[in-house]
Structures are given as C-alpha cells and as structure tokens.
Structure 1
Amino acid sequence: MKNLNQKWIYLLVLSLIWGSSFILIKKSLGGYTALQVGGLRIVFASVLLFILGFKSLKTLSKKDWKWITIAGLCSSFFPPFFFALAQTEISSGITSILNSVTPLLTTLVGLAFFGLFLKGRQVLGVLIGLFGAVVLIVAGMENNVDQNYWYALFVIISVVGYAFNINIIKKYLSHLTSLAVTTASFGVAFLPALIILVYSGVFQQFVGNSAMHEAVWYIMALAFLGTALANILFNKLIKLSSPVFAASVTYLIPLVAVSWGFLDGENISVLQLLGGLIILFGVWLLNRKRQ
C-alpha cells in the first residue's frame, strides 16, 4: 500500500513539473536558439547532479556503464535538443501532446526487446490513452493550421529514446539508486552538450544581450526542476512501479502543458478538453487493480 501511494504521488508531481517544462522551453527560445536551449539545459542539470550525486557513481560497475551510456544518450542527450527544435515550429501544448505516445512505445519496445508481458486490460488502457492523444493532436492541428508538423518527428524520435531508457533502467539498472542512474546518464551527455554550446557561440553572445539575460532564468528552472529533479523522481518511479505505469506520466503532462499554453495565449478547444478526459480514463484503466 505504501508503494502504491508513493508511485501515485510521484506520478502527479512529475506531471506538474514536466507539464510546466514545455512552456519553459517556449520562453527559453525567446532568447536562445534550440541548440543553445538544449545544451544549457543539459549542462546546468549536469552541474547540479554532479554536486548532489558524484559519490554515487562509485556504485556503478563496468557493465552498468554500458547500459548507462545507451540510456543516457536516449534520454538525457538527444531529447533536450530535439524538444527545443520541435518547439521552434510547434506550440508547447501540441509538443506535450505528441509526447503522450510514450506509454504505447514503451510497451511496444518492452514487448519486442525486453520480454514485457501485459494483461488485456492494460493493453486496452494504453490504446484508450493513445486515442485520447490522437484526439488532442487532431484538435491542435485544427486550431493551429500554420504550424509545421514535420517537426513532430523530433518528438517521436525522443519518445522512442524514452521508451528504451525506461525499459533499460527497469531491467538492467534497478539495483542502482535513482540519483546514481540520473547523475551517470547526464555524465554521458555533459561533454558533447558542452562542445555543442561552445560551437554555438552562446558564451560570446550572452554579454550585453538582454533577451538572453531574461531567458536564462527559464533555462535554469528547466534544468534544475524539469530535468535534474524530475529525472531523479522519474527513475525512482520506474523502480517503484512498472515501465508502463512510469510511462503513463506522459498521459497527464499534456493537461498541465495545454493549461500553461492557454494562459500564454495558445488556443484550446472543447475537443482538446475531451481528449484530456479520455487520456485520464486510459491512465486509470491502465493502472487499475482487479478487486
């Protein structure tokens, strides 16, 4: 019962944090390029994690580092860049909605590569949640016809990376602490992200640029809360629950993100609200226990 309550608390907290990340990316892009936003997000988060979790790296074996490297590239390196790139052409609310296919892809990757087994009720929950996401996507496209949805591919690639990351952590890294896994994953991403930042010229451009000075606070919030803290909590959630339950956080994220988008002037329709309710039902069905 304790684990049951804890995993729902983690799920809701993560929904609020990650749901707010999309509006933070949008605000960050007001002063920086997509590559700069992604790079700074990784570097800032890595510095905080190194301070908090450097000692925990001693617990990793050589075999662990093999899986950490794969998981780190899949979840900690490419997605921060790809989500920022996607939001240069797609609204924050729509990007978060596209992200909600994570449970389905986590399930498919788990079934194909990691020996995952699902009950019929769980499969139905995943499909209902996916249907709700499709309703939200269609509604978003109708409300925002001027957006370039080819950039949605950046989100889908990131989601595939998340799906592998979740299954790898559950199967091969569950013996490590959440802090160790998160710190090591960003340790893998830190150096290439720093190289990209140097190449982008962000440090030279920052001096005397008021837009960058204002936007850097959004990036810091994104890095410290939406990246470092959120990943620690998420890795803890994976250990407490199943890969599918952990991935279902992405079904709740759009509800928060679309709300933030609405407050920031993005369009929201009744059809989008309906899609959100369908998603909530899918999450409930996915995780409901038989009496």
Structure 2
Amino acid sequence: MKGNQQALNIGIFALLALTWGSSFILMKKGLESFDGVQVALLRICFALLFILAIGWRKLKNFQKKDLPAIMIVGFLGNGFPYILFAWGLMHIDSSIGGITNSLTPLFTLVVGAVLYKIRIRPLQLAGIALGLFGTYYMIDPANNAALGENWPYALLTIGASMMYAFGVNTISAKLQHYDSITITALALTIVGPLAILSLFLFTDFTTVISEDPQALNAIGFIAILGVMGTGFAIILFNYLIKKASQMFAVSITYVVPIVALGWGVTVGEEVTAGHIIGIIAILSGVYLVNARKMKKAAQ
C-alpha cells in the first residue's frame, strides 16, 4: 500500500470510528420522541436524500445482474440492522449497542468462510470464541446488573452486527466494479422508498410530530444520524472495503465501543465491570481474527 493511500485510509478509519461511535447516542436521542422502527425509517430517509443529492447520476451505472447483491447490501447492510439497533436501544444503553457492534469483524470472517470459502485459521477461531465469550459475559445479568431483564434486547443488536457481515462480504465479493458512492446510492435507492412509504402508512409518525413538542429536536438528531452516520459514513466505509480490505474496514469496531462508552458516560449511563470485561474480551477476539493481516500490513 502506498504511503499516501495508507495515510488516507487511516484518516478515514478514525473519522468513521468517531462518527459511528456517536451514532448510538444519536439513536437514543431520537428514541426520546419516536419508537425504534420510526427512528430507523427516518434514518434511511435522510440518508437517501443525502445520497441522491450528491450521487443521483451514479444510478445510471446500475447493471441488472447485480440486483441480488445490491438488495443484500440494501436490506442486510442497511435497512434491517438499523431497525434492530434502534429497537434494541429502546431497552438497553447506547454503550451496550456500541460494544455488541464490535462483533462485526468476527461475523464477517464466519460469513466469508461459509459463503465464499475464506479459510479460518486456528488463531482466528480462538478470536471468534473469545469474542463470543465476551458478548455472553457482558449481556449475562449476573455480570451486568445495569442490563437486568433487558438482556434479550442486546441480542437484537448482535443480530444487526451479523447482518452487517453479509453486506460487507457481498460488497467485497460481488460489487468491486462499482465505486463507493454508486454502491451506497444503489443500496439506499432499494430500501429508501420502502422506508418512506412505511413511515407514513404504517406508523403514527405524523401524530407524534403534531403532538410531541420535542419531536422536531428528535428529528434533528436523526437527520444528523442519517446524513453523517449513514449516507456519508457508508460512502467512506465502502471506499475502505475497496481500497484497503474488508477486514481492515470492519476493524473500525475496535474503536467504536470506546467512543460509544464515552458518550454513554456523558449522559449518565452506568459503566459496570461486565462492560469492561466484555469489551476487553471482544476486542481481544477481534485482534486475534485480524492479527495475521495486521502483521503483513506492517511489514
């Protein structure tokens, strides 16, 4: 990797970590007025408006043969995970959402091995096992009193992280001939219109707007989430997948939980020993999964 490209990749990596680490607190702010589904649908709507404003000309690059792959990226890489994360964060702290999101590299490796015959080495298997242990330890009510009976909702955010893995692998394996803006525009064009229709036809969005005086503030937070945390961030993320590697890109989740924990502390969320032990185990597992690639990159 050339020096300038490597520096650019590292800069994008840091920016994405800050942006996505802040996404969980933005979701919590949106949830003060709207339910989880509404937050997710609004997020997609704002992301769609942003991406069409800057990249609508890219839609002409669409090739019919790529429709299945684009649908996977649209629904599993964007639509459904946003709903699961927002739904889960209705019942758990934003910091927990950030920590469970760090499982994405582990799931990316597993999905790649199953669908695309990527070889899993013994050290990587150990990393997967350690990451899963960390997740179990963190959501076990016996180790995390702050989570309590709401621990099943953490499974929703874990499921969202698993879905992201399908999107990442699909981009890497099937959509390398598109640039990052085109991939983002096509994926959001698939899910965006459905999100708009669902928001107005199947939720009480308009009622909340008219009756909740804080609704506009919540929409402001969701707009930031949609434009920066979704539209802009996905463009950068897809760029990293193409220019660096899928494992380098998803390793952003090393840093995301730290940012999410920091935001959680600022709004009074409790940080327990379960959080700390869980995050250490998960990030250690992610390190083991990526250790060989990181060593090669350093040489």
Equivalent-residue separation in structure 2 for 1:118 and 1:7 (angstroms): 25
| Shift, 1:248, TM fit | 1.7
Matches within 5 A, 1:34-183: 34-120=36-122, 136-137=138-139, 142-183=144-185
| Shift, 1:219, TM fit | 0.5
Equivalent-residue separation in structure 2 for 1:123 and 1:263 (angstroms): 36
| Residues 1:217 and 2:223 aligned together | no
**Residue aligning to 1:24:** 26
Equivalent-residue separation in structure 2 for 1:14 and 1:36 (angstroms): 24
Equivalent-residue separation in structure 2 for 1:209 and 1:152 (angstroms): 28
Instruction: State the secondary structure of the residue aligned to 1:288.
Output: helix
Instruction: State the secondary structure of the residue aligned to 1:167.
Output: helix
Gaps of 5+ in 1: none
Name which of structure 1's ranges 105-114 and 207-216 shifts more when overlaid on structure 2: 207-216
Equivalent-residue separation in structure 2 for 1:72 and 1:11 (angstroms): 22
| Shift, 1:283, TM fit | 5.2
Instruction: State the secondary structure of the residue aligned to 2:92.
Output: coil
Q: Contact 1:129/1:280 (CA < 8 Å) preserved in 2? A: yes
Gaps of 5+ in 2: none
Q: Aligned AA for 2:220?
A: W
**Residue aligning to 1:193:** 195
Name which of structure 1's ranges 245-254 and 121-130 shifts more when overlaid on structure 2: 121-130
Q: Contact 1:17/1:226 (CA < 8 Å) preserved in 2? A: yes
Mark the CA change 1:122 to 1:134 in structure 2 (over 3 Å): closer, same or farther: same
Equivalent-residue separation in structure 2 for 1:8 and 1:119 (angstroms): 26
TM-score, normalisation: structure 2:
0.88
**Residue aligning to 1:265:** 268
Name which of structure 1's ranges 166-175 and 238-247 shifts more when overlaid on structure 2: 238-247
Q: Contact 1:41/1:222 (CA < 8 Å) preserved in 2? A: yes
**Residue aligning to 1:244:** 247
Equivalent-residue separation in structure 2 for 1:201 and 1:136 (angstroms): 35
Mark the CA change 1:205 to 1:134 in structure 2 (over 3 Å): closer, same or farther: closer
> Residues 164-208 of structure 1, C-alpha deviation per residue, up to 9 Å, x if partnerless?
100000011011010000111111111221122113131243135
Equivalent-residue separation in structure 2 for 1:237 and 1:191 (angstroms): 27
Equivalent-residue separation in structure 2 for 1:142 and 1:204 (angstroms): 37
1:202 to 202, 205, 214: 205
Identity %, equivalent residues: 35
Equivalent-residue separation in structure 1 for 2:53 and 2:98 (angstroms): 30
Number of residue pairs the alignment of both structures matches: 291
Q: Contact 1:44/1:223 (CA < 8 Å) preserved in 2? A: yes
RMSD across aligned positions (CA): 2.3
Equivalent-residue separation in structure 2 for 1:5 and 1:250 (angstroms): 19
Q: Contact 1:106/1:164 (CA < 8 Å) preserved in 2? A: yes
Name which of structure 1's ranges 36-45 and 129-138 shifts more when overlaid on structure 2: 129-138
Instruction: State the secondary structure of the residue aligned to 2:68.
Output: helix
Mark the CA change 1:133 to 1:182 in structure 2 (over 3 Å): closer, same or farther: same
| Shift, 1:141, TM fit | 5.0
Q: Aligned AA for 1:41?
A: R
Equivalent-residue separation in structure 2 for 1:222 and 1:74 (angstroms): 18
Equivalent-residue separation in structure 2 for 1:224 and 1:52 (angstroms): 11
